[in-house]
């Protein structure tokens, strides 16, 4: 499954909001430097979709707020 994610770093609390079937807004409390925010997004998506972090791959948007992730379901 491929999803689009809009990341909002430096948020007050962490949450995932489903906007459309394949579009999500993810708020993280960490700063977007050295991939910290990307790691946190993968962590949150892992919990949300109940899949291991190793099954979530960032396809596009490493330095952008708009990202595309591939989630390989079990």
Residue 22 belongs to a domain with what CATH number? 3.30.1200.10
Average pLDDT, the chain: 95
* Domain that residue 6 falls in: 2-71
Total domains in the chain come to 1
Structure tokens at 73: 């379901």
How much is the pLDDT for 28?
97
CB 60 within 8 A of CB 69: no
**Among residues of the chain, what percentage have pLDDT more than 90?**
97
Structure tokens at 50: 């109940």
The C-alpha R_g of the chain, in whole angstroms, comes to 11
pLDDT values of the chain reduced to their tens digit, one per residue, 74 residues:
999 999 999 999 999 999 999 999 999 999 999 999 999 999 999 999 999 999 999 999 999 999 999 999 77
């Amino acid at each position: 499954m491929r999803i689009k994610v809009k990341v909002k770093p430096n948020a007050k609390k962490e949450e995932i909001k489903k906007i459309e079937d394949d579009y999500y807004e993810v708020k993280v409390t960490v700063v977007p430097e050295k991939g910290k925010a990307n790691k946190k997004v993968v962590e949150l998506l892992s919990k949300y979709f109940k899949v291991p972090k190793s099954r979530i791959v960032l396809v596009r948007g490493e330095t952008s707020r708009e990202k595309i992730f591939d989630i390989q379901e079990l």
